[in-house]
Amino acid sequence: MATGPRELLPTTRIGRRAFIAADVGGKHVLMNVDKGVYIALDAVGKAIWQRLEAPLTIAALCEQLRAAYLIDEQAAFERDVTTFIEGLRLNGLVETLP
In a domain, 52, yes or no: yes
In a domain, 7, yes or no: no
Q: Is residue 5 a contact partner of residue 88, using CB atoms and an 8 Å limit? A: no
**What pLDDT does residue 20 have?**
84
Boundaries of domain holding 69? 13-92
pTM of the model: 0.82
Distance CA 56, CA 59 (A): 8
The enclosing domain of 46 has a CATH number of 1.10.10
Q: Kindly give, in sequence order, each residue whose CB lies less than 8 Å from that of residue 70, ignoring residues fewer than 6 positions away.
A: none
φ and ψ at 63, to 5 degrees?
-65, -45
Which pLDDT band, with edges at 50, 70 and 90, does 57 fall under? very high
pLDDT at 68 over 60: yes
In a domain, 6, yes or no: no
In a domain, 5, yes or no: no
Question: Per the structure, how many domains does the chain have?
Answer: 1
